[in-house]
Structures are given as C-alpha cells and as structure tokens.
Chains A and B, each alone.
Chain A
Amino acid sequence: GAVVSQHPSWVICKSGTSVKIECRSLDFQATTMFWYRQFPKQSLMLMATSNEGSKATYEQGVEKDKFLINHASLTLSTLTVTSAHPEDSSFYICSATHPGAPYEQYFGPGTRLTVT
C-alpha cells in the first residue's frame, strides 16, 4: 500500500514553454501532498504543501506564479512550471501522506525536467 506515481518520469521542454507534472496516490486518498525539487547531489527542498480543494502553501522563496499547484482531488495533484527557463531544470518529486499514518510521507518516483 501507499503507492505514489508521477507522470511523466522525464520531460524536455524549450525555454519559455510550460510543463505540467502529475502526482497520483494510487491505492489511497492522500490527506496532503507535497512538492519537492532536488538538484544534483543535493537534498530535497520543499516547494509547497497542497491540500485537496484549497490553495497550496508555498515555502519562502518559491514563486507561486511560476510553480502553479492544483490539487483537484484526494488522489491527484499537479505542478505546472510556467515559462520554464534552464535554471528550472531539476528533479521534481511529490509525496503524499496516508490517512492511516498522517506524519509519514510516501514519495513518487520523481520527474526529471530539462529546459533547453
């Protein structure tokens, strides 16, 4: 149980375009979903916390107009990187909390974004 998927697993886009990443909890309804980014050989940095039906809470320094988060249902959250630039190239990972273990986060496999 507690399986989280992401789609796509990797994406290449041109500078100035937007790209959407999906995060799904496959076998449970997620209480909360989180979005992280990870640069090579660095740890995970939390970008935002998302609850179904409400606005996401962004961490300090994260541009909410650039990284749009939509949490339309208890099993789906999306991250849209708008007007992407090469510096947005990174590994984006989502996680979800299971209602039976609200403090534990279960992570998706990640999405590698490359902006050319």
Chain B
Amino acid sequence: EDQVTQSPEALRLQEGESSSLNCSYTVSGLRGLFWYRQDPGKGPEFLFTLYSAGEEKEKERLKATLTKKESFLHITAPKPEDSATYLCAVQARGGGATNKLIFGTGTLLAVQP
C-alpha cells in the first residue's frame, strides 16, 4: 500500500535556526513527490515537485531533496513568516490518468522571533 510519513509532527524553531523536515514514502513506482505549504484555514500552496532520486530544488529559504526512500525539506535561517504546516505528497506511476496524490499528515512549523 502506498504510504507517506512525515516527521516531526511539530517543530518549533528560533528565527535563524536552520532545520530539516522529513518525508518518508513507500510507493509502487514513484511518478513524483510534491511539497506544499498550508496556512491555517487556507488551501495548500504548491512549493516543489521532485521526480527522481538525487534531484534538488530551491526557493528562497527552502530546499527540497529526494532519495529513493525519502525527501527532506531544508529550511535555512527561517523567519516567522515561514510558520505553516508543510505537507508532502506522492504520486504513483500506473495510476492511469488520475494523477492521484497521497498526502502525509504534515509538519507544523512554528518560527519564533
């Protein structure tokens, strides 16, 4: 069964304190791994797509990496505005044209000034 596990469930950082969020996955053939940011009461905001092991993508203070078993979202020198829930999702090959995403439960990040 395809599954996504995110850790930690919650993370509290001081402003400027870099850290990483983990997303472990088991999937019957990975088509893509996706990172989203979700603010309270809002829909998820697309951050990155990673398609193959070794791939890395960056956006401002965020950097996403991918291996065959997991992905990391590195946050460098975070600011309070980076506080949000970060969601990881995978899409499996062989799902036909449905492009279905399987989400993890997210990491709630709080950055204190």
**Chain A residues near B (Cβ < 8 Å):** 2, 4, 6, 32, 34, 42-46, 49, 57, 91, 93, 95, 97, 101-110, 112
Contact = CB atoms under 8 A, between A and B. Distances in A.
Interface stretch (B12-20, B63-71, B93-101): B93-101
Interface residues of B, number: 22
Contacts of B44: 44, 93, 107
Contacts of A103: 31-32, 49, 91, 99
Given A43-B106, A104-B34, A110 B100 contact: no
Interface string B48-67: 01000000000000000000
Contacts of A97: 99
Interface of B: 31-32, 34, 36, 41-46, 49, 87, 91, 97-101, 103-106
A2 B49 CA distance: 15
A109 B41 CA distance: 8
Given A46-B100, A97-B99, 7 more contacts: A43-B106, A45-B103, A93-B44, A95-B43, A104-B32, A104-B49, A107-B45
